Structure 1
Amino acid sequence: MGFSDVVVLALTLLCAEKEALAFIRRVAYGTVIDPEKYPYVVEVIVENETTGYQCTGSLISRSVVLTAGHCVSGKEMEYSVQFRKRGVLTTIIHKTVSADGGLFAVFDYNHPINIKSANIKDFALVDVGLIVLNEPLPICEREDGRLYSVLPLPISNRYSDEWTSYTNSFEDCKLLGYGVHELGIPDGQLRELNVSVQVYANALVSVLRGKGAACPADSGGPVICLSREKEYIAAGIISHGRGKSRELKPQCYGNKWSPEGDVFVDIRIALPIIKEGLIRLGKLKEFLADNMSC
């Protein structure tokens, strides 16, 4: 990404009014993959008697799913998650787990952040949600023909009072989602897309240059990058698309135009908020135990 591209996208991010925000519960032109390649990724189903929508999420402990805050901020909605596996011709639903054990959500374009160890006081995009499942899952094990695992978060010291990240590198990144694709609505297929991630304005951005973008129902899905240990770890959470491209054709089925770029929550900024949510939901000890065992 050139400097001018970053500036143009940054101006779009900072100057466009919220009312003009084209919020896309956001993989077009991605690669369909076996769900067990990333066994922590789940399809989030949100519905009531009159309406419903889908998002994507990641299992971070035996009973907690990390997703976007705007995916769990709806009132009087019922939540469930689906784990899929490869069938004969396509992926199939392996297990559905209801989720009314508790919710935590922060959705704010200018959320105050205070990272004491780095002497940082600022504002950032925070779009973080946690969903508690009714049934704990056998993480890091295979049960009934399906593997379950947790998304690795880049926490320097999980037992520290303040969670900070041990990585500042965003190399070899991918986004993962169960959302709309270039030809149609969500079809139960997990897709991955290689993306170039840049840091700007306390968020992560990916300027769209050609084919390939996050789409409706990808929101909450993980952005993962390769660590120095050659392990894919969480780098961000898919949040929304921003701006309106004059050059790109619509990439997601049903959209009339393409955004200029995809915007992701920076996991480094989100870590303290995730910890706060785990504490409020009474799930911190579970998280620590499960991430030690995997």
Structure 2
Amino acid sequence: MNKVLKSVLVGAAAASMAFVGVGAANAAPVGSGSTPDIVGGTKAPATPWAVQLIFQQDGASYGCTGEAISAEWVLTANHCVDGDTGMKVYYSNSTTNRGTGIAVDQFYSSTNGDVALVHLSQAKNLGSYPALADSYTAKAGDQAVIMGYGHRANGANADGLYQANVKVLGSSTDAYDGTAVHIQGVNGGANHGDSGGPIIIGGKIVGVASTVDAEPGASTTGKANYANLTDSRQWISDTSGV
């Protein structure tokens, strides 16, 4: 079974995020030793638009990755908002010093796969925002970059945002049966905590992290499925104006 990418946060000081299984409502607890995040890869440069989402589902605290696409809107995965009772967005690339979060006042879910938008209760202006691709057709061999927060290999805590180089294998399916971009790690792979995090091709975000094919442990060549934004792109524009 594929694994989706959000995590349970244990305790107020816990800052790790994780993938959970496709079709599963639960997540592995932080510190369990089985919930690594981007494995391998490198520390990402300062990326103000790459945000942390901390939220409540079924009485537990979870975390995901998101992309601020305007002063009021954040893009993420649908499974990160499905059933939420509260969410805050943190504009820090540090998982140990997130600063003050901004509350979310509305959740919006695409009808085309594992894609969602959240609306901030208070605008946060950044100097620039990432570009979203108008469309993307998965092509085997395409080179891409993924980014996300959470644990490292074998459950070690990450101190911030990491990125990895990956290659496209072709098309696949995300956690909500939408079209996904199937990828494999080159120098690092996706895992717990990257849910909603971006896959970037040609300088544009073409999808968000949805599931992994299997628990990667310490493997840097794991396979994952990123919800393709193509079928949701008009909806994103209509909803957010982006």
Q: What SS is found at the alignment partner of 2:234?
A: helix
Any conservation in 1 of the 2:166–2:187 contact (CA below 8 Å)?
A: no
Which residue identity does 2:86 align to in structure 1?
E
Which residue in the other structure is 1:255 paired with? Answer: none
Which residue identity does 1:23 align to in structure 2?
V
Distance 2:99 2:143 in 1: 30
- Picking from 36, 57, 61, the partner of 2:66 is 57
Which residue identity does 1:205 align to in structure 2?
H
Change in 2 beyond 3 A, CA 1:223/1:131: same
Which residue in the other structure is 1:200 paired with? Answer: 171
1:72 and 2:51 correspond: no
Which residue identity does 1:96 align to in structure 2?
G
Which residue identity does 2:227 align to in structure 1?
V
Distance 1:139 1:264 in 2: 26
Which residue identity does 1:43 align to in structure 2?
Q
Structure number with the higher helix fraction is: 1
Which residue in the other structure is 1:270 paired with? Answer: 232
1:10-52 CA distances to partner (integer Å, 9 max, x unpaired)?
Answer: xxxxxxxxxx443343311121123x2x221001101269411
Q: What SS is found at the alignment partner of 1:46?
A: strand
Any conservation in 2 of the 1:84–1:91 contact (CA below 8 Å)?
A: no
- Picking from 154, 177, 182, the partner of 2:133 is 154
Which residue identity does 1:204 align to in structure 2?
V
Which residue in the other structure is 1:11 paired with? Answer: none
1:225-265 CA distances to partner (integer Å, 9 max, x unpaired)?
Answer: 22xxxxx21121111012x48xxx6238xxxxx99620011
Which residue in the other structure is 1:39 paired with? Answer: 48
Change in 2 beyond 3 A, CA 1:105/1:171: same
Any conservation in 2 of the 1:41–1:58 contact (CA below 8 Å)?
A: yes
Which residue identity does 1:194 align to in structure 2?
N
Distance 1:136 1:186 in 2: 30
- Report the Cα offset of residue 95 of structure 1: 4.1
Q: Considering only aligned residues, what root-mean-square deviation do their CA atoms show, in Å?
A: 3.0
- Picking from 235, 240, 243, the partner of 2:211 is 240
- Report the Cα offset of residue 197 of structure 1: 1.6
Which residue in the other structure is 2:217 paired with? Answer: 250
Residue correspondence of structure 1 range 1-294 to structure 2 within 5 A: 20-25=1-6, 26=19, 27-34=38-45, 36=46, 38-47=47-56, 50-75=59-84, 77-84=85-92, 92-100=97-105, 102-106=106-110, 111=112, 126-140=113-127, 149-155=128-134, 165=135, 171-184=142-155, 186-201=157-172, 202-208=179-185, 212-226=188-202, 232-242=203-213, 244=214, 250-251=217-218, 261-276=223-238, 278=239, 283-284=240-241, 287=242
Aligned residues: 205
Change in 2 beyond 3 A, CA 1:135/1:263: same
Change in 2 beyond 3 A, CA 1:237/1:78: same
1:184-235 CA distances to partner (integer Å, 9 max, x unpaired)?
Answer: 3654410000010233244211135x76211111000010122xxxxx2112
Any conservation in 1 of the 2:52–2:149 contact (CA below 8 Å)?
A: yes
> TM (normalized to structure 1)?
0.61
Distance 1:70 1:95 in 2: 24
Unmatched runs of 5 consecutive residues or more in structure 1: 1-19, 112-125, 141-148, 156-164, 227-231, 253-257, 288-294
- Report the Cα offset of residue 166 of structure 1: 7.9
